[in-house]
Structure 1
Amino acid sequence: MGVWKTASAACLLGSLGPVAFAQAVAPEAPAEASRVSLTADNVYVLEEENLVVAEGNVQAEYEGRVMTADKLTYNRLTAKVRAQGNVVVLEPDGTQRFADEIETDADLANGYAANFAMRTPEGATASANLATRENETYNTLDRAIFTACALCEGDSTPTWAIRARKAVFNEESGMYSYRDAVLEVAGIPVIYLPYFAHPDPEAERRSGFLFPTVGSSSKRGIVYQQPYFWAISPYQDLTVSPMLNTKVNPLIELDYRKRFWSGQVNFNGSFTYEQNFDSDGEKFGEKEWRGHIFGNGKFQITDNWLWGFGVEKASDDLYTRRYDIDGENEQRGLYTNQPRLLLSQVFAQGQSSNWYADASLLTFDSLRFDDAREDAIADVLPLGYAERVFDLDKYGYASVNVSTAYLTRDAGADSLRTSVGSEWSVRKVLPGGILAEPFAEARFDHYQIDDFPAAGDSSSVERAFGTAGLEVSYPFFRPGKSVDITIEPIVMGAVGTSGANEDAIPIEDGNYFELDTSSLFEGNAQVGYDLYEGDSKISAGISTVARWKSGVEFSALAGKRWRNRNDPAFDEPSGLDGTSSDWVGAFALELGNPLSIQAKVRLDDETLEMNRIDTGLNLSLDRVKANALYYQIKQDVSQSGQRQEGVLLTSEVSVTDNYFLLYGLQRDIEGNRDIRHSLGVGYEDDCSRFELVFERSEQIDRQLGPSDSVLFRFALKSLGNVGSSNFD
């Protein structure tokens, strides 16, 4: 709507001529600042009509702005300026404005433009039969049309456009409003809005209604959710989103954000008064208030310290799935959560160049169908860690650390652990290019245990242990014309204390460990605190890297681990059972942008059969984009005790420059079922993206069973995501 202050300014100043230019300059501005260059085939004065007229190839230049027209007239009596015939105003930023005729007062307060149009450098266009300006405040377009899509030569139908009977821009309030607006897609009317308004993109945030979400669900029937954005202040806002459902009672969703001088908070919550219901919307149980809240915050205390919190609560196990609420597995603090477990935490964190510390309080709520298991999930009140690192110059690095964890639960052992430890290592290059890294570590643990049968009458357990060893590698490098190859044999040997793993200590943080290439050459391969890999051990492997001049790279690392005795504390899935581990390997092939492949394998130490494989593929060709994951785990090494095999695939194939196909698959091969299977088509250009996807899910969780859905979603350039419909 800035057309009036730009186009009419050029018309006015261009018509008055050099003598009048100086008179229009503000007193504090130099006269030279508003000089206008005016050219025309013919300029003359009509004394009887009191008109100044410029005709033929009229061009006026003012502060980088250029206006051209067939004719320009200035009425000295009424102080009105009129530009006629092929009027074009070119802005310094490249924006073009067109009209058949423009007329305005000398003070730019009132005016009109007939057959007005505008085109931005980004390709957005707007047009109207008539554009008028009143009282320096209201700018009105009659029979307006707007699109952010650039039109190709010979193409008169944009991908999307908004038509309105009237569009008004109020400069005082900074608001755009539309009457009888219609959203058209490919020239076809899709959505009619009797009234629609939004703030000027360059203005401050404003309160108002956002685009609604409309859909249909077998659980909730026809769904309509209308968000309202409330800009409470420049640093806080609230979005209220009532959801109407034909099968169940309404729900209200709230999103609150606030920024402080030292941090910010974010909350998402909802509530409703309703019974439980199944996949078909059949209700059961008592009607009661139900809801959820997800939130987090982080605040800077000093340059080195901050504190924060994360909260996740739901009234029912299946509440978020019944109402399709997102955000369950987002990270809201120092720690992330497992699927279908809610984690609430309060934490403090500090660090500098040579020290680190954190402390947290963690509580868990299970959304899984197992009350006994939920009672066995421990709350951690608190969990703390601190470390100080010392640079010993040529003698390497040393560190001391302290850790504590107090675990309490409704069913099972409560425990308090306090640990103090130290580590040291140094890296040396020996004659001949041999790399040697001696290391040592020691730790003392104190446990206070209650209600743990293996502890007997003892409620206190203490232990001290350590490990010392040496890692040696000898890299061989062979440069070549087309490929450089590095081969590096690696051997690690270490000696540690025996008998560190006592039956009286409950295993809390080591249940899901599995030896792989990332821990193969560690003196203590076991992560966590409750289990410790002592005794004597040797690891041997070989690393290979090949780099082609073309940018292709292949890397591989493989090896295994031997121990002097079997520690019964380690089970077969961990890979540290017995005296000889399985063979472990990791491989990666990077072909640049088109293709990358990664794989991790675990082979039986005796038969070399595949015990486990995890592979990933990323493909990005001219018309094909795909991400695939495949895994297979034998029963003997599976943490669940069951064989697992599955695949996860997402892909997009461009059929033409604009149309594409979508395909997604999450399949449990061992269970012979599709957890999620989707197929869709889509369209995309420079200003929009449309997707129509059919999805089938065979996931079952108590009363919520398999479902089919049709998803329709689209995004429009400059308007963002307009909405999505979800049909179950």
Structure 2
Amino acid sequence: MRWLLLAILACLPFAGLSQDALVQDGPATLVADRIAFDAATLTAEGNVEIFAQGRVLRARRVTYDRSTDRITVEGPLTLLDGPDRILVADYAELGADLRGSVVAGARLVLDQQLQIAATEVATGAEGRYTQLYQTVASSCEVCAAYPVPIWQIRARRVVHDREERQLYFENARFEVAGVPVAWFPRLRLPDPTLERTTGVLAPRFSADDLLGTGIEVPYFITLGPSRDLTLRPFVTNQETRSLGFRYRQAFDAGDLLVTGAVSRDEVRPGEMRGYVFAEGVFDLPRDYRLEFDLEGVSDDNYLLNYDITEKDRLDSRAAITRIDREDRLLAEIITFDTLREGERNRFQPTPVITIERQRREPRAVLGGDLVWTLQAHARRRKASTVPEGGPDDAARDVERMSAALAWQRTHITAEGLVLTGLAGLDLDAYSVRQDPDFADDTTFARAVPHAGLELRLPLGKGSRSGARHVFEPVAQALFVPSDVKRTPDEDSLTPEFDEGNLFAVSRFAGRDRRELGNRLNVGLSYTRFDPSGWQTGATLGRVWRDRDNEQFRDGTGLDGTASDWLLAISAEDGDRFGVESRALFDDALDFTQSETILGWQGARYLLETRYTWLEEDATAGRPDATSEWELDAAYDLTRDWTGRVNWRYEAVTNEASRAGFGLTYRSDCVTVAFDVERRFTSNDDLDTSTRFGFGVDLAGFGADGDRTRRRRCGI
């Protein structure tokens, strides 16, 4: 029979048990199978539990001595001190408030991750500092057959500062599989409950053909609750010296991120190299928003040499935007910095300035929706003359003022036929300079009206299995003039043709080009919805024109009086499986473009692969056809080991451009990652290279272990 000490405390003269210490929301409470007491002591035995100030003590036998106001506990005992601190011991002496303790044969567990075993544990009366003597610390689970964990830290003494959430080790020795590998007279580490603190992060080792073999040791610096700085010093045996950094700051109305590095190496001896990227978003008054993304680098190959990004054109952007239900406003400026071999920045359009206002009228106009757009656009080039042998637009400067109206109205008949009427007008005024093609007419205007009718007939059918089938034939007739003033093409160089714009009024991405000529867009789509979660679909479409206006190049699939056939197929099963395939081909089944993307995820594997075929298009910067296969895959080889591969292969040139392989060991207490990557591409300034990487993260000290994976007996 259990007794509740709360009833006894109300009757006994010694039942106060340090009343000031025990008072929180009420007195301390004891529950036990048997309780015996006299004038000096109280003894509780059998399933003893004491509750005081949010702490819970469970033990086999507890004795309270009134003269010393101390509690003696015979174990095995467990002290739950908050949600992330557990103490397990054989014997303990505690104050009446379960603080000020001396514990023998103890094991302290922090955040269910880090365990510290000690011969003796002492906690001060204030409860902030806990001292552990002759300790062994590890986050690894210890097996009976293999009592030595994968890693452990032995120390003469450990002090846990509960307020600062820090662990201080004295005379510490770091061991791997029981073998000492490092010794520290003093060592400070965060406890697992601390999310941010200044200190050294896990180092990473690497070996590179260009930079050499070296080590990166990141150092994290907290600059307050909303700011931090990470420094990444990197040194190698080939005189590479680099200091990377990352600065983050959160504001009440936005955030800022700056990354970069400065380096000296033997790739470019005697030069200071580096890069800086900065991005941020800030809320402004009246629902405006400031966005910026700035990019700069010292030379063309730095980003590839240090494996930062594969971008070969940097674009820096600053913009002010405001978007609501009816309006969109944009004012932006963009600059470009080319890293491509053979390109020069003086012939790049920089800066590019755009100011645009777009509004959808909230009230119906002639029974339909009306959207109007106003835009001012300008782009300049540093070059003032066309280089010998260069294209005519190499030094071209353009300013443009544009206005557009787009109206549509939809009506659904009783038979389910969806009729949509379309109408619109695009007006543009140009000023063109430094282009021989427009030497006689540098200022001009253009007007492109359009009108059309679209018919859709959605058809649905259900089956006995619960699956639903939806068919939708679509026909769209557009009437657009063909004889329109020729304009420079700055923002529509690479038009796309896919199921997303099969029924678009214009398939040019920008405003410089508007799709001209009367045409008929026809398509048929099919979608199947299965109760099990599967969804499959297909779209087939084509465009017919009354004449060829020679607006589209070969390779786009849109040239001629009849476009290529567009076929898109997809299938997905939630997040487990997905495949998309899109192709453009003519009547002779000669493919212009083809792309297939596959993603497959299971309990032990992850696969993402893509195949791309593109016909040659010199104007788009593709003098040769592209046939590229990319693969990223991961597979759980065993319970704790995961293998990874990545591959990029060019079938036309019959060579790989990049390949990589990696292994990761991850358990409840440690993550070890090894990877190797080979880059095969090269040019006059950039050689092929192979990079090796190796990193170790210890759970409980700034890294999260996989708590679902418990270590087996042995690695």
Of 536, 558, 565, the residue aligned with 1:583 is 565
- How far apart are residue 722 of structure 1 and its match? 9.5
- How far apart are residue 398 of structure 1 and its match? 0.4
Q: Which residue of 1 aligns with 2:489?
A: 507
Structure 1 unaligned spans of 5+? 1-9, 330-338, 724-728
- How far apart are residue 551 of structure 1 and its match? 2.3
8 A contact 1:714–1:721 mirrored in 2: no
Distance 1:636 1:249 in 2: 41
Q: Which residue of 1 aligns with 2:515?
A: 533
8 A contact 2:254–2:283 mirrored in 1: yes
Cα offsets for 1:78-106 (capped at 9, x unmatched): 44433233222346759642112212455
Of 480, 505, 517, the residue aligned with 1:523 is 505
Q: Which residue of 2 aligns with 1:336?
A: none
Structure 2 counterparts to residues 602-641 of structure 1, below 5 A: 602-604=584-586, 606-635=587-616, 639=620, 640-641=622-623
Of 442, 460, 464, the residue aligned with 2:443 is 460
Give SS of 1:320's match: helix
Distance 1:662 1:189 in 2: 31
Alpha-carbon distance change, 56 to 261 in structure 1, aligned in 2, over 3 angstroms: closer
Cα offsets for 1:2-37 (capped at 9, x unmatched): xxxxxxxx99x999996445463349958x811322
1:253 equivalenced with 2:234 (yes/no): no
- How far apart are residue 666 of structure 1 and its match? 1.2
Structure 2 counterparts to residues 208-227 of structure 1, below 5 A: 208-227=199-218
Cα offsets for 1:488-526 (capped at 9, x unmatched): 111110101223351xx3211111112222111122222
Q: Which residue of 1 aligns with 2:530?
A: 548
1:126 equivalenced with 2:116 (yes/no): yes
1:307 equivalenced with 2:290 (yes/no): yes
8 A contact 2:210–2:305 mirrored in 1: yes
Cα offsets for 1:586-625 (capped at 9, x unmatched): 1101234442211001112x31222221001111234332
Q: Which residue of 2 aligns with 1:358?
A: 330
Q: Which residue of 1 aligns with 2:351?
A: 380
Of 376, 379, 382, the residue aligned with 1:410 is 382
Q: TM-score, normalised by structure 1?
A: 0.86
1:81 equivalenced with 2:71 (yes/no): yes
Distance 1:686 1:191 in 2: 22
Alpha-carbon distance change, 552 to 204 in structure 1, aligned in 2, over 3 angstroms: closer
Alpha-carbon distance change, 132 to 24 in structure 1, aligned in 2, over 3 angstroms: closer
Of 196, 219, 230, the residue aligned with 1:228 is 219
Distance 1:288 1:624 in 2: 45
Q: Which residue of 2 aligns with 1:52?
A: 41
Q: Which residue of 1 aligns with 2:266?
A: 277
Distance 1:128 1:27 in 2: 27
Alpha-carbon distance change, 553 to 195 in structure 1, aligned in 2, over 3 angstroms: same
Distance 1:151 1:501 in 2: 80
- Code of the residue aligned with 1:490 in structure 2: it is V
Distance 1:93 1:162 in 2: 24
Of 700, 703, 719, the residue aligned with 2:682 is 700
Q: Which residue of 2 aligns with 1:726?
A: none
8 A contact 2:18–2:97 mirrored in 1: no
8 A contact 2:410–2:421 mirrored in 1: yes
1:113 equivalenced with 2:103 (yes/no): yes
Distance 1:189 1:488 in 2: 71
- How far apart are residue 370 of structure 1 and its match? 2.3
Of 492, 497, 507, the residue aligned with 2:481 is 497
Which is worse superposed, 205-214 or 555-564? 205-214
1:709 equivalenced with 2:691 (yes/no): yes
Of 429, 432, 436, the residue aligned with 1:446 is 429
Alpha-carbon distance change, 466 to 315 in structure 1, aligned in 2, over 3 angstroms: same
Distance 1:565 1:674 in 2: 43
Distance 1:62 1:340 in 2: 64
Q: Which residue of 1 aligns with 2:386?
A: none
Q: Which residue of 1 aligns with 2:19?
A: 25
1:36 equivalenced with 2:19 (yes/no): no
1:67 equivalenced with 2:57 (yes/no): yes
Cα offsets for 1:382-418 (capped at 9, x unmatched): 2122101013448221011011221011231011111
- How far apart are residue 125 of structure 1 and its match? 3.4
Which is worse superposed, 456-465 or 489-498? 456-465
- How far apart are residue 182 of structure 1 and its match? 5.1
8 A contact 1:123–1:151 mirrored in 2: no
Give SS of 2:304's match: helix
Q: Percent of aligned pairs with the same residue?
A: 24
Q: Which residue of 2 aligns with 1:334?
A: none
- Code of the residue aligned with 1:60 in structure 2: it is E
Alpha-carbon distance change, 186 to 631 in structure 1, aligned in 2, over 3 angstroms: farther
Give SS of 1:488's match: strand
Alpha-carbon distance change, 235 to 194 in structure 1, aligned in 2, over 3 angstroms: same
Distance 2:195 2:700 in 1: 17
8 A contact 2:356–2:374 mirrored in 1: yes
Alpha-carbon distance change, 269 to 121 in structure 1, aligned in 2, over 3 angstroms: closer
Alpha-carbon distance change, 720 to 675 in structure 1, aligned in 2, over 3 angstroms: farther
- How far apart are residue 343 of structure 1 and its match? 1.7
Cα offsets for 1:168-222 (capped at 9, x unmatched): 1234644322235455566666665554323455568543333333333333333
8 A contact 1:211–1:722 mirrored in 2: no
Q: Which residue of 1 aligns with 2:462?
A: 479
Structure 2 counterparts to residues 673-688 of structure 1, below 5 A: 673-688=655-670
Give SS of 2:26's match: helix
Of 321, 326, 334, the residue aligned with 1:349 is 321
Q: Which residue of 2 aligns with 1:6?
A: none
Distance 2:608 2:299 in 1: 34
8 A contact 2:18–2:69 mirrored in 1: no
Q: TM-score, normalised by structure 2?
A: 0.87
8 A contact 2:351–2:380 mirrored in 1: yes
Of 668, 678, 696, the residue aligned with 2:650 is 668
8 A contact 1:118–1:125 mirrored in 2: yes
Q: Which residue of 2 aligns with 1:7?
A: none
Give SS of 1:375's match: helix
Distance 1:642 1:229 in 2: 47
Which is worse superposed, 684-693 or 257-266? 684-693
Task: Report which structure shows greater RCO (CA 8 Å, sep ≥6).
Answer: 2
Cα offsets for 1:252-288 (capped at 9, x unmatched): 223222222322222122224x4x633xxxx54xx24
Alpha-carbon distance change, 42 to 559 in structure 1, aligned in 2, over 3 angstroms: closer
Distance 1:668 1:452 in 2: 37
- How far apart are residue 461 of structure 1 and its match? 2.1
1:653 equivalenced with 2:635 (yes/no): yes
- How many pairs were matched up? 685
Which is worse superposed, 354-363 or 291-300? 291-300
Q: Which residue of 1 aligns with 2:339?
A: 367
- How far apart are residue 721 of structure 1 and its match? 5.0
Alpha-carbon distance change, 683 to 200 in structure 1, aligned in 2, over 3 angstroms: closer
- How far apart are residue 126 of structure 1 and its match? 3.2
Of 408, 420, 423, the residue aligned with 2:403 is 420
8 A contact 1:87–1:98 mirrored in 2: yes
Distance 2:301 2:177 in 1: 41
